[in-house]
Structure 1
Amino acid sequence: MLQFNHVTKRYDNGKPAVSNLNLKIEKGEFVCFIGPSGCGKTTTMKMVNRLINISEGSILVDGKSIKKQDPVELRRSIGYVIQQIGLMPHMTIKENIVLVGTLLKWSKEKKDKRARELLKLVDLPEEYLEKYPHELSGGQQQRIGVLRALAANPPLILMDEPFGALDPITRDSLQEEFKKLQKELHKTILFVTHDMDEALKLADRVVIMREGEVVQADTPDQILRNPANEFVEEFLGKDRLIQGRPDVTTVGQIMEGFPVTVQTGTTLKSAIYTMRNRHVDSLLVVDPGNVLKGVIDIEAINLNYKKANLVEEIMEKEIFSVTQDSLLRDTVHKILRRGAKYVPVVDEQQRLTGIVTRATLANIVYDTIWGDGMELDEMATAVE
């Protein structure tokens, strides 16, 4: 899909910003470039759509050299998302989404249809199409920036720190959303970030650069298990859980399989009975197909007992969840950031498959620091 052959970029001072880069990115692969400031990651991305010209070597997209393609046509065939979003303030959301389609002279019907199709992908209502960028939140604007990059259905999308300016919780949400979207649409993504957690969470492969050269290009799991050298170790940070417990990397390995639930249609009285019997102060609410719909706690019931009858009338619908293949360290950060007591685990259809609790995570941390307790026993014996 995308191939770098001995690619070098030199600026006027003669020093290479990127030096002899050789890399092949497969169709449908999500590759994150990361490294210290000035390492060449953004320069590498901008050479792909010829915003920066190559000094030596070649870049091939679907087997065709980018040097032999018209720069304007090349850019229209490649999606591009940046941190600043760059929505046109005088255009409606619909006009922003189909901007490339307008340049390609699509019919009004085709543009309208495509805008509606794309908006459904990020669960925004159709009335947003007639709004203007200033009427949307930062997270919503960034969603529109992603949709604009998808409008002409490009096989390749370049993303330059697209979520960097967002608050942590909005950023978490968009990362989850975009990863799911990428799996559904099977796009090839080249993604630049300065955030190692983001790279490890999103990427099929992570490319770590230093002074214009690739230091290591591998799967997140392999990079965490087998860093190429001391620079990669330091760049990763030695506080990552996988170093203490290399056998535990994902949520699926430590989740509990039977969270306490009630179905939609359950009365508040029945929910209280379940809480009492199971010794919990909150319940996950699922539909008959076990799809996660929300959460209800004893405080909400107490406040609304005389006003409502069924759990779905007062449940919290905006509930943070993860999938079984979510990275454990990323999930720990989210639980701590949100002050959550637990996180539901769902599959791609949002069906509930398990739960991760703070207690479970605490055990992992204890094992990371103290092992299985044998060391403490040995220490006690030695003291005696």
Structure 2
Amino acid sequence: MLEFKNVTKRFGSGVKPAVNNLNLTINKGDFVVFIGPSGCGKTTTMKMINRLIDTTEGSIIVDGKDVTQQDPVQLRRSIGYVIQQIGLIPHMTVGENIVLVGSLLKWSKEKKEKRAKELIKLVNLPEDYLNRYPHELSGGQQQRIGVLRALAADPPLILMDEPFGALDPITRDSLQEEFKKLQKEMDKTIIFVTHDMDEAIKLADKIVLMNGGEIVQASTPEEMLRNPINEFVEDFIGKDRLLQSRPEVTTVEQIMNPNPVTINMESTLKEAIQKMREMRVDSLLVIDQEQKLQGFIDIEMVDSNYRKYTYVHEVMDTEEYAVQKDSLLRDTMHKMLRRGKSYVSVVDESYHLAGIVTRATLADMVYDTIWGDGMEAAIATPE
């Protein structure tokens, strides 16, 4: 899909190369994240792919074709590109912004309208948003439109330069999850540049860590966290990271309780109260007949609605936050703390409820990681 062969970039003679003799192969459908300190060459490397910057030496091959042998304008129209500043055109509607490349490619009006309607559904925004203007959208919504614009011409390759860097943490979390799911569904090859190691660990199939214009280590997130190749990688990752302390525990599936307390959405509020009393809990996860997560209900919802409503689905909160079974544990823990959650539901790819991770579970794991049996022995036999 994408190959760098002995690629070097110099900005002026006698100057140390910004990128030095880079060799890397990226397969179709991979999500590859370039990361490293400022000035390491990661953004220069990405911009050489669509010839915003030209190589000094070597070649970059995309789908069997050398990019330097292609017209740069046509090349850029065939590769999606998303940047932090988004760059939506203010006097164009959201729909017009999405299909901007289609306009350059001389698509018919009908084709552009159809494509815009198809894409807006992918990010769960209403179709009438296509008639709005960028200033009428939130920052997160604008960034979604920037991503859709990159997808409009259905390019096999998409470049993303710190696209979520300017967003608040919760919006950023949401967009990361949304985009990773979208990438899997559409089987796109993504080259993503970031300075945020947590973002790289969460999104990447492969992390390419650069320094001084060269690749220091290129591997899966799990491999890099477990086996950093040298001290630079260790320091850049951060020695306090959970996966280094407890390498055998990496995903929420490994520590979740697979039997959370649930109630069917068609059950009555009286049945919900009885179940809370029996299980000695103050909230229940709500599922449908297919065991798919629908929301949650707690004692306060029941208490304030008991006289007005009969069934769980009439009063439940449908904004239940959930993570996939293969979500990284460290990332999930950070989200729980940021959102002030005491637990997080765990689902599979079809949104069937698979389990639950609570703060108590995390506390037990951190206790074992830091102190283990040694602390228990110390408590049992004090000096």
Q: Report the TM-score when normalising by structure 1.
A: 0.97
Question: Which residue is 2:260 aligned to?
Answer: 259
CA distance in 2, matches of 1:77, 1:349: 32
Are 1:306 and 2:307 counterparts?
yes
Are 1:38 and 2:17 counterparts?
no
Contact 1:322 1:344 in 2 (8 A): yes
Deviates further, 285-294 or 76-85: 285-294
- The one-letter code matched in structure 1 to 2:300 is E
Question: Which residue is 1:218 aligned to?
Answer: 219
Are 1:334 and 2:346 counterparts?
no
Deviations 1:241-292 (A, max 9, x none): 1122111011111111011111112222221111111111111111111111
Question: Which residue is 1:141 aligned to?
Answer: 142
Q: CA deviation at 1:137?
A: 1.1
Q: Following superposition of structure 1 onto structure 2, how do residues 181-220 of structure 1 map, counting pairs within 5 Å?
A: 181-220=182-221
- The one-letter code matched in structure 2 to 1:362 is A
Question: Which residue is 2:52 aligned to?
Answer: 51
- The one-letter code matched in structure 1 to 2:3 is Q
- The one-letter code matched in structure 1 to 2:113 is D
Q: CA deviation at 1:364?
A: 1.1
Question: Which residue is 2:320 aligned to?
Answer: 319
Question: Which residue is 2:245 aligned to?
Answer: 244
CA distance in 2, matches of 1:192, 1:18: 15
Q: Following superposition of structure 1 onto structure 2, how do residues 167-182 of structure 1 map, counting pairs within 5 Å?
A: 167-182=168-183
CA distance in 1, matches of 2:19, 2:146: 28
Matched residue of 2:165: which SS? coil
CA distance in 2, matches of 1:37, 1:191: 15
Matched residue of 2:365: which SS? helix
Question: Which residue is 1:6 aligned to?
Answer: 6
Q: Against the structure 1 CA distance between its residues 55 and 355, is the aligned structure 2 distance closer, same or farther, given a 3 Å change threshold?
A: same
Contact 1:245 1:367 in 2 (8 A): no
Question: Which residue is 2:72 aligned to?
Answer: 71
CA distance in 2, matches of 1:378, 1:287: 48
Q: Following superposition of structure 1 onto structure 2, how do residues 360-375 of structure 1 map, counting pairs within 5 Å?
A: 360-371=361-372, 373-374=373-374
CA distance in 1, matches of 2:81, 2:172: 18
Deviations 1:129-155 (A, max 9, x none): 111111111111111111110010000
CA distance in 2, matches of 1:318, 1:161: 28
Matched residue of 2:350: which SS? coil
Matched residue of 1:322: which SS? strand
CA distance in 2, matches of 1:317, 1:378: 46
Question: Which residue is 1:354 aligned to?
Answer: 355
- The one-letter code matched in structure 1 to 2:34 is F
Matched residue of 1:199: which SS? helix
Deviates further, 92-101 or 10-19: 10-19
CA distance in 1, matches of 2:352, 2:114: 30
Q: CA deviation at 1:303?
A: 2.4
Matched residue of 1:50: which SS? coil
Matched residue of 2:147: which SS? helix
CA distance in 1, matches of 2:376, 2:353: 38
Question: Which residue is 1:297 aligned to?
Answer: 298
CA distance in 1, matches of 2:279, 2:345: 17
Matched residue of 1:206: which SS? strand
CA distance in 2, matches of 1:145, 1:306: 47
Give structure 1 stretches of 5+ with no counterpart. none
- The one-letter code matched in structure 2 to 1:249 is T
Deviations 1:305-337 (A, max 9, x none): 233322222222222111111000001101111
Question: Which residue is 2:129 aligned to?
Answer: 128
Identity of aligned residues (%): 71
Question: Which residue is 2:155 aligned to?
Answer: 154
CA distance in 2, matches of 1:217, 1:164: 23
Q: CA deviation at 1:105?
A: 0.7
Matched residue of 1:159: which SS? strand
Matched residue of 1:16: which SS? coil
Matched residue of 1:11: which SS? coil
Q: CA deviation at 1:378?
A: 6.5
Are 1:87 and 2:82 counterparts?
no
- The one-letter code matched in structure 2 to 1:294 is G
CA distance in 2, matches of 1:42, 1:338: 32
Q: CA deviation at 1:380?
A: 6.8
Q: CA deviation at 1:298?
A: 1.2
